[in-house]
Amino acid sequence: MLSKSLSTARPLKAARSQPAPAQPVAPPPQVPRAVSNLRTRGAENDVLRKIGCVLALITVFVRFTGIHEWIATYFGDTYILYLLVPPALLAMLASGGARRTLQWNLARYWLGFAAWLILGIPFSSYKMGSLLRVWGYLRTEFVMLFLIAGLLLTFTDLQRLMRVMFYAALVDVFMARFLQSDELRTRLELFTGTMSNANDFAAQLVLMLPFLLIPLLSRKRNLLLCAFSLLGLGYGLYLILRTGSRGAMLSLVALALVCFWRASAGWKITFSVLLPVAMIGLGLLLPPETVHRLMTLEDTDAPAYDPVSREAAESLDARKFVLQESLWLTITHPVFGVGSGEFMDAEASVAREKGRRGSWHETHNTYTQVSSEAGIPAFIFFAGALVSSFLLLRRLWLRSRNQPSNERNDMLRVAVIALSLSLLGFCVAIFFLSLAYRFYLPAMGGIIISVARVADQEWRQPPAPARSMA
């Protein structure tokens, strides 16, 4: 038995004398696909991309301010966008920006929307009109998605983009002082540009005002910029109400409710005190006719001697009518719609068949504008892009709450807040406007993708150190 035990012990001793097997090295955590592709291509240091990035930032400022339209009004068309957009597009394509953009589901939804607009041209009630509308959308509006998401890749690019949006918001607010129409009565309107309509201008202000919060919420506050922010916010809110746009007013109510719901207990008390004071103050500053129009939110029998009430009531009647007609055209033309930009012609044709005059108004609802003119599939792509934007912003917000407080993380957190408020307010405002073929939503999608890409770079886990082989 002793010999047997010794014989069994020797292999154990030999086994102990052998070196321990090498521990497997823990693989580094997976990096998001967009980040890994970015690093392998070396696009961050691409000189061509950097040049395109500068052109894209200038384009963003020009488009969100409409400064090219001011110049065209006073000095004639200088073709600024033709000098900026084509070389920026070439730089984006040469540096792989299109592929980087389409790695995000948000961009794929917008691509599907644009593709369905193209497919619907042969089925339009007026093919040439739809062709021109779709071509203009692709050439000047849709490309903003790729210019921003394909060229702005780094944290420095994002910082510059947020500064551009802040200064563009300031310009949008204070340009009304110089571009307002001389016939200023009940509603504030601009005398030039695509935003000359009071409702459209109010929607643009709703979109841009949240970017004025950036200096106020930043880690390092500049007192001068904070003063401009507060002044711009106060004057901007006044201008939104001064336009008499009830849709924009409902957007402000929605934003106030969201801010109150998400705020801490201390901020809720502050909001409860400041909001009524601000409402009373703005109400005293506004003309009585504008206040009366804003308060007309239901269809009532307006007295004949009150032109403000009569105009407000007629506007409500017209909006309800075109909403019903756009829903009916959506049901009767569910696949490709009546054609991009052809709602007024289609509604007039239906009116002639029924023996009445056409209203010759747009849908005054971006969502039914898409469904009636481009079909239900286009609406699904359009709504999918918006839902994807909100989901991506929510994911970024939840991730930002788990990050340590420093200058870079705080800047990303502020960007997410500004984008969330901006997109929410604008989505409420366009429920009363026809802005389906404007650049705002594709551009906002590009900005959201840029923020998400930079956040993936900043918040990815560092690779685990290799274990010792000894």
Residue 371 lies in a domain: yes
pTM of the full structure: 0.85
Residues 358-391: pLDDT tens digits? Answer: 778 888 899 999 999 999 999 999 999 999 999 9
Please give the sequence-ordered ranges of beta strands (E in DSSP) within 126-186, or none if there are none: none
Alpha-carbon distance of 394 to 309, in angstroms, equals 41
Residue 34 backbone dihedrals phi, psi, to 5 degrees = -60, -40
Domain count, the chain: 1
Residue 5 lies in a domain: no
pLDDT at 461 over 70: no
Diameter of the chain by CA atoms?
Answer: 121
Domain region containing 220: 36-459
Q: How confident is the model at residue 437 (pLDDT cuts 50, 70, 90)?
A: very high
Residue 222 lies in a domain: yes
Q: How confident is the model at residue 307 (pLDDT cuts 50, 70, 90)?
A: low
CA angle 187, 141, 388 (to 5 degrees): 95
pLDDT at 150 over 60: yes
The average confidence (pLDDT) of the chain is 83
Distances (CA, A) of 144 to 116, 308, 321: 18, 39, 33
Alpha-carbon distance of 365 to 323, in angstroms, equals 7
SS3 254: helix
Residues 366-375: pLDDT tens digits? Answer: 999 999 999 9
Residue 71 lies in a domain: yes
Alpha-carbon distance of 135 to 121, in angstroms, equals 10
Alpha-carbon distance of 309 to 253, in angstroms, equals 22
More confident residue, 177 or 128: 128
pLDDT at 466 over 60: no
Average pLDDT over every residue of 105-133: 95
Q: How confident is the model at residue 300 (pLDDT cuts 50, 70, 90)?
A: low
Alpha-carbon distance of 333 to 213, in angstroms, equals 43
pLDDT at 77: 76
pLDDT at 37 over 50: no
Q: What's the Rg (C-alpha) of the chain?
A: 28
Q: Which residues pair with 180 in a beta bridge?
A: 190
Q: How confident is the model at residue 315 (pLDDT cuts 50, 70, 90)?
A: confident
More confident residue, 279 or 344: 344
Percentage, residues of the chain above pLDDT 70 = 84
pLDDT at 54: 95
pLDDT at 387: 97
Q: How confident is the model at residue 245 (pLDDT cuts 50, 70, 90)?
A: confident
pLDDT at 82 over 60: yes
pLDDT at 107: 96
pLDDT at 190: 80
Residues 253-271: pLDDT tens digits? Answer: 999 888 888 777 777 787 7
Alpha-carbon distance of 211 to 263, in angstroms, equals 18
pLDDT at 198 over 90: no
Residue 189 amino acid letter: E
Residue 16 amino acid letter: R
